[in-house]
């Protein structure tokens, strides 16, 4: 595929899953099946059944979903690579999707990627059980207004910005009582607060207890400098030092996903083609919200042989 400017590959995170994800590639490619079989062996989970048949409540449990979605993201990327139609200039991933980005950029092996997200899912679920919380998507308010709301509501409990997704889409996370107060303040300011169906207060202090165990695991994993620049959730900037990458990915568990800043950085780098690789079109939709109408670019999504055919 010929593009004017650079190409960024975007990998989605939790919330993009659906029953049947990846089945188009799995039904037509032995290489795709081999990756899923390897992921099953590493995770010890029935990923093929979960992805194809569920049940949905089993698939969406964090400890199962993280290896399942990561495997499907990388199966989709494998298909894109094998098609040989694009050259990636940047990799990015939203929250969990950052692990697929690390693998695609050559920073992690497939096996270590699946092992890490399996552990990450287990640790995050453990902490969410010990420290229950909630999340809400705040619409129509900018980040400064949301941060002001959190400052006021935080006297009722721990609160943080979990995802800065676009100029006027911010996800907040923390103690349920404080989140209720924050939601009321959002409405008073003319915004909208939508409760999210999640099993934990992701990217908040409530799950920071997962960090020590995850840090120890990361310390033993070989990490390479990315072969292609990767913009990290924590910093919205590239990083090549393996030790710093380990530290960033450990912090990522309980730190804000700076997605809006990542897309703005990609625009500053003259990225003109954005390809979401993995289930659904969540990141494509966010890109359309962020990118100015007069900015000439192409936004595509690939999660099946049919959508792969649109890249030409």
- Within the chain, all domains assigned CATH 3.30.70.250 are found at 133-195
**What dotted CATH number matches 133-195?**
3.30.70.250
Tell me the per-residue pLDDT of 186-244, one tens digit each, with 9 for 90 and over: 999 999 999 999 999 999 999 999 999 999 999 999 999 999 999 999 999 999 999 99
- Band the pLDDT of 1: cuts 50, 70, 90: low
The strands making up 298-302's β-sheet, listed across from edge to edge, are: 90-93, 6-11, 271-277, 298-302
pTM of the complete model: 0.97
Task: Tell me which CATH homologous superfamily contains domain 6-129+205-308.
Answer: Malonyl-Coenzyme A Acyl Carrier Protein, domain 2 (3.40.366.10)
Distances (CA, A) of 201 to 128, 184, 302: 7, 18, 29
- Within the chain, all domains assigned CATH 3.40.366.10 are found at 6-129+205-308
258 in helix, strand or coil?
coil
Which DSSP helix (H) or strand (E) runs through 74? Answer: helix 62-83
Q: Which residues are catalytic?
A: 95, 203
pLDDT for res 2:
59
Tell me the per-residue pLDDT of 113-122, one tens digit each, with 9 for 90 and over: 999 999 999 9
The gap between the terminal CA atoms of the chain, to the nearest Å, is: 5
- Judge contact between 49 and 92, C-beta under 8 A: no
């Amino acid at each position: 595929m010929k593009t004017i400017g650079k190409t960024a590959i975007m990998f989605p995170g939790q919330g993009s899953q659906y029953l049947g994800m990846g089945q188009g590639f799995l039904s037509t490619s032995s290489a795709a099946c081999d990756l899923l079989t390897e992921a099953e062996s590493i995770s010890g989970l029935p990923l093929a059944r979960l992805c194809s048949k569920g049940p949905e409540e089993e698939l969406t449990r964090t400890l199962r979903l993280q290896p399942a979605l990561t495997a499907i993201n990388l199966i989709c990327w494998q298909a894109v690579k094998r098609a040989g139609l694009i050259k990636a200039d940047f990799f990015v991933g939203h929250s969990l999707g950052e692990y697929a980005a690390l693998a695609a950029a050559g920073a992690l092996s497939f096996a270590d990627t699946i092992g890490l997200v399996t552990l990450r899912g287990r640790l995050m679920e453990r902490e969410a059980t010990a420290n229950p919380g909630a999340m809400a998507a705040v619409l129509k308010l900018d980040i400064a207004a949301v941060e002001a709301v959190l400052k006021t509501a935080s006297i009722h409990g721990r609160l943080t910005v979990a995802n800065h997704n676009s100029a006027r889409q911010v996800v907040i996370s923390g103690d349920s009582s404080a989140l209720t107060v924050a939601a009321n303040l959002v409405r008073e300011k003319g915004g909208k607060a939508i409760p999210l169906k999640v099993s934990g207060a992701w990217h908040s202090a409530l799950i920071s207890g997962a960090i020590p165990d995850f840090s120890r695991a990361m310390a033993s994993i070989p990490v390479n400098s990315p072969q292609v620049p990767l913009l990290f959730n924590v910093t919205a900037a590239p990083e090549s030092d393996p030790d710093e990458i380990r530290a960033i990915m450990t912090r990522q568990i309980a730190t804000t996903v700076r997605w809006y800043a990542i897309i703005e950085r990609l625009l500053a780098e003259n990225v003109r083609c954005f390809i979401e690789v993995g289930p659904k079109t969540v990141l494509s939709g966010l890109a359309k919200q962020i990118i100015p109408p007069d900015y000439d670019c192409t936004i595509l999504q690939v999660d099946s042989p049919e959508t792969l055919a649109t890249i030409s």
